[in-house]
Amino acid sequence: MSLAELVGALLVLGLTAYAVLGGADFGTGVWDLTAGRGPRADRIRAQAESSMGPVWEANHVWLIFVLVVFWTGFPVAFGSVMSTLSVPLFLAAVGIIFRGSAFAFRGVAASGRARRPLDALFALSSILTPFFMGAAIGGIASGRVPVGNAAGDPVASWLNPTSAIVGAIAVATGAYLAAVYLAADAARAGRADLVEAFRRRGLLSGAVAGALALGGLAVLRADARPLYDGLVGAPGLALVALSAAAGVATLALVWRRAFGPARVGAAAAVAAVLWGWVVAQRPDLLPGEITIEQAAASRPTLVAVLVAFLAGALVLVPSLAYLFRLVLRDRLQKELPPLGEPGRGGPLP
Amino acid sequence: MTDLSAPLSALALQAAGALGGPVDQDYLFQARQMQALSLGWHIIIVCFGVAFPAIVLFAEGMWLRTGDPLYRALARRWSKAMLVLFAVGVVSGTILSFELGLLWPEFMATFGDVFGVAFALEGFSFFTEAIFIAIYVYGWDRLPRVVHFLTGIPIVIAGVAGSLFVISVNGWMNNPTGFDLVDGRVTDVRPLEALFNGNLWYQFTHMWLAAFMVAGFSVAGVYAWAWLRGRRDRYHRAGFLIAFTVAALVSPVQILVGDWAARQVAENQPVKLAAFEGLGETTSGAPLTVLGWYRDGEVVAGIPIPRLLSLLTERDPDAVVQGLDVVPPEDRPPVNVVRLSFQTMVGIGTLLALLSAVYLATWWRRRRPPRSRWFYRSAVAAGPLAAVALLSGWITTEVGRQPWIVYEVMRVEEAVTGAGGIPVGYGMLVAVYAALTVGAAWILRRLARSPLRDEVEGAESLARQEPAR
């Protein structure tokens, strides 16, 4: 593996972590939006909120990690992507503002009527943001981003069949991950009604995500032939098969209420799709335009990025492990104490 | 540093963008305004990310030492505000990362690999801060006391480290090093040299102290307001004293650091310093002019103090100070914007240092804070004023850098995106930030008004009136 590919691997690592961790946080928006009203809906929202609360900011930082490695390691490709795909990426950025602030505000100080608009804002922005990010990835993967300052089509680069299907897959996989993770959290907390609610949602969204991924292959065959050929070629096909196998296995695990292993299986299914895309377009960074090697920054910078990563990992890995250990062992608060209404019981026991 | 900037400026007009050179962009001004809006919003929030954790941790440390539930109540209340401010800082910081690429792709494509390592390190600081702020805020009552206190320390360190790395990039834009230009192409990149550029330490120190001033005065202002409204119990008194003392200790030091910063600017960016002062022509024994307006190469209606500028910059009243005339007009920043911002920053900074001196002197002589209503009224104003000074300082350094995005190497118009729709994006962003401001203000107000029993069992006893004197 060359230096450029090592830094590229960091990029893929960051994207994977963002997809399986941050993606699930976005996915809760689907369940928030469809929860409806009433005490049952409040419990669904509260479970999502208490699961996300301590981890969403850390999960979100993976996106920053991806951006930073992208522009430092592959500056020309970064400038090309950001300028051509400025519309979906700007909309995703606006969605990130609304999602994060709506979540933080309602978590700290919103109860009663003040919650409703924040719930709606949180849910809508949680659905639109991954869609636009997926659409941007679809634009890259289908070779619609040329090298240059806003050199590609500002509209067709992200309003096209591949972008649409990748955006839909991004939303669906997030919802699926969220349902599986939330079912596991509810099971750990012994909330039987929520376990069943998220189990049903997990089975449904898993089936939808799988169908979209398979249907997506047909779309790619028509719209992005080189990518399709890469996916059904040797290494790509293995990952597609791995994703399908992990997806089916996860559905079986969810069916049997083995949520712990299902968590891992669901994440593996999503990660394998992502890696399939990476392998399919290798060695290109922007398909048909520029390879990873051509796009890479100068050698001292690549070395510096790798050294910074190793040094950072020394801090990051134990810190993340500590956070997730505390969360999974229920050593942190379920939710912040509600404000202003003493004695008010939260929707969770 | 100085010997390096000369050859760079000679090559300046040859710096070619890695994406194929400048594009026609009708909306350069809006693009700059968009970036300025996002940065200006973020920089105020960042002050709380950098300085607030230390203040919260101090209160918790007092609780551990004294066992007084008062300090625990303060620390818990503050930690919630800290979490909200961190969350909006996370999203506004993310917008900035996007905007660097969305608005300035040529800048990122050409120089991303030179300064990028600083951002990579900043990313890890951000990670650490996000992880431990969650553990800290959600860990109240769940983690052992000392462990909980210790989980706050990485937040403090990461907040400071993160700002150091971001300032490193800004320092680099003002004082670019760590690469060579050959035929307009960036070669021989030396990332460490870029990371530790000549502007890093003074800009960082100046910003770091400013963060403590903004956070300290703002938090203290909440309690000063309560004091004026008659709530003078131990809880409000302690909240005021902790936050105001921090800011009061920092403010006088900031004047010294400001002097250091100005002399560094005189050395590294003489044109910027000339814009600070409205010095049209290179002058020996240059005066320092207070107030007034820059027009046609000189300041009109100002109050000149003879030779002071030479004395301040070179420690010699007869020294030569370079004027704006050392570069052609198209290479000069908009003087009045820079000068007005600079004077605002210096003026407010001086007032805040005076207010701090009054407080510290009263404390020194009487062992108690001042009791004058005017003091508390000033303390209420100090928070917003510190934020205005912060923004003014930031406008001073960033507008003073114009027309360059990379000082004397790449102009902003060479860096801007070719994408359309910038006014639409700008309009959207204005609406979004307005909503975010209203939302954040609403939530913090709600937090401030919630009863203390949310934080502490039996907290009502804290709201005991201070014994009358």
Chain A segment 120-179 residues within 8 A of B by beta carbon are 147-151, 154
The whole-angstrom separation of Cα A279 and Cα B264 is: 50
pLDDT at A340: 39
The domain locations on chain A are: 3-328
Instruction: Determine, for residues B123 and A304 on separate chains, whether the beta-carbon distance falls below 8 Å.
Output: no
Task: Give the residue ranges of chain B where pLDDT is below 50.
Answer: 1-14, 464-469
Q: How far apart are the CA of A213 and the nearest CA of chain B, in angstroms?
A: 28
Q: By CB neighbour count within 10 A (0-12 exposed, 13-18 middle, 19+ buried), where does A176 fall?
A: buried
> Pick from A53, A79, A305: which is nearest to B117 by CB?
A305
Asked if residues A217 and A233 have their Cβ atoms less than 8 Å apart, the reply is no
Please name the residue ranges forming H helices in B286-372. 308-314, 335-366
CA-based torsion, B8, B14, B18, B23: positive or negative: positive
**Mapped to the 3 state alphabet, what secondary structure does A73-142 carry?**
HCHHHHHHHHHHCHHHHHHHHHHHHHHHHHHHHHHHHCCHHHHHHHHHHHHHHHHHHHHHHHHHHHHHHC
pLDDT at B6: 41
Backbone angles phi, psi at A208, to 5 degrees: -65, -45
CA-based torsion, A295, A300, A306, A311: positive or negative: negative
Check if B88 contacts A (Cβ < 8 Å): yes
Best A65, A97, A125, A145 member to test B by mutation, with max B CBs in 10 Å, is: A97
Can you read off the two tokens belonging to residue A62? 């993976």
Backbone angles phi, psi at A41, to 5 degrees: -65, -40
pLDDT at B25: 73
pLDDT at A195 over 90: yes
Asked if residues A42 and B76 have their Cβ atoms less than 8 Å apart, the reply is no
The whole-angstrom separation of Cα A320 and Cα B40 is: 31
Best A18, A56, A57 member to test B by mutation, with max B CBs in 10 Å, is: A57
Best B95, B124, B192 member to test A by mutation, with max A CBs in 10 Å, is: B124
> Pick from A68, A340, A342: which is nearest to B116 by CB?
A68
Per-residue pLDDT reduced to its tens digit, A247-303: 999 999 999 999 999 999 999 999 999 999 999 998 999 998 899 999 888 898 999
Chain centre distance of CA A347? 27
- Interface contacts A/B by beta carbons within 8 Å: 275
Instruction: Determine, for residues A105 and B428 on separate chains, whether the beta-carbon distance falls below 8 Å.
Output: no
pLDDT at B258: 92
Residue positions counted in chain B? 469
Element (H, E) at A47: helix A39-52
Per-residue pLDDT reduced to its tens digit, A141-182: 999 999 988 888 999 999 999 999 999 999 999 999 999 999
Q: Strands, E, within B165-228: which ranges?
A: 180-182, 185-187
Q: How far apart are the CA of B425 and the nearest CA of chain A, in angstroms?
A: 8
Check if B29 contacts A (Cβ < 8 Å): no
Instruction: Determine, for residues B105 and A83 on separate chains, whether the beta-carbon distance falls below 8 Å.
Output: yes
DSSP state, B454? G
Task: Find all residues with CB under 8 Å of B220, minimum gap 6, and list them.
Answer: B239, B240, B243, B244, B247, B379, B382, B383
Q: By CB neighbour count within 10 A (0-12 exposed, 13-18 middle, 19+ buried), where does A349 fall?
A: exposed
Q: Strands, E, within chain A: which ranges?
A: 284-286, 290-291
Pick the more confident residue, B390 or A52: B390
Q: Which of B238, B243, B228 is nearest to B73 (CA)?
A: B238
Per-residue pLDDT reduced to its tens digit, A300-322: 899 999 999 999 999 999 999 99
The whole-angstrom separation of Cα A269 and Cα A247 is: 5
CA-based torsion, B156, B158, B164, B166: positive or negative: negative
One-letter identity of residue A290: I
Q: How far apart are the CA of B357 and the nearest CA of chain A, in angstroms?
A: 37
Q: Which positions in chain A touch B454 (Cβ < 8 Å)?
A: 337-340, 342
pLDDT at A334: 62
Q: Which positions in chain B touch A150 (Cβ < 8 Å)?
A: 23, 105, 417-420
Q: Which positions in chain B touch A145 (Cβ < 8 Å)?
A: none
Q: Which positions in chain B touch A319 (Cβ < 8 Å)?
A: 127-128, 131-132, 154
> Pick from A103, A298, A339: which is nearest to B113 by CB?
A298
Instruction: Determine, for residues A312 and B421 on separate chains, whether the beta-carbon distance falls below 8 Å.
Output: no
Q: What angle do CA B163, B166, B170 make, to 5 degrees?
A: 125
Q: How far apart are the CA of B297 and the nearest CA of chain A, in angstroms?
A: 38
Q: How far apart are the CA of A298 and the nearest CA of chain B, in angstroms?
A: 7
Q: By CB neighbour count within 10 A (0-12 exposed, 13-18 middle, 19+ buried), where does A125 fall?
A: buried
Asked if residues A150 and A172 have their Cβ atoms less than 8 Å apart, the reply is no
Q: Which positions in chain B touch A297 (Cβ < 8 Å)?
A: 112-113, 116, 189
pLDDT at A93 over 90: yes
Instruction: Determine, for residues A71 and B100 on separate chains, whether the beta-carbon distance falls below 8 Å.
Output: yes
Check if B415 contacts A (Cβ < 8 Å): no
Chain centre distance of CA B412? 22
The whole-angstrom separation of Cα A256 and Cα B107 is: 53
CA-based torsion, B259, B260, B264, B267: positive or negative: positive
Check if B86 contacts A (Cβ < 8 Å): yes
Instruction: Determine, for residues B139 and A336 on separate chains, whether the beta-carbon distance falls below 8 Å.
Output: no
Instruction: Determine, for residues A315 and B128 on separate chains, whether the beta-carbon distance falls below 8 Å.
Output: yes
pLDDT at A341: 40
The whole-angstrom separation of Cα A134 and Cα A138 is: 6
ipTM confidence score: 0.87
Can you read off the two tokens belonging to residue B302? 């100002």
Q: Which positions in chain B touch A103 (Cβ < 8 Å)?
A: 87
Could you identify the residue written with the tokens 């929860």? A35
Instruction: Determine, for residues B432 and A322 on separate chains, whether the beta-carbon distance falls below 8 Å.
Output: no
One-letter identity of residue A231: L
> Pick from A57, A64, A339: which is nearest to B87 by CB?
A57
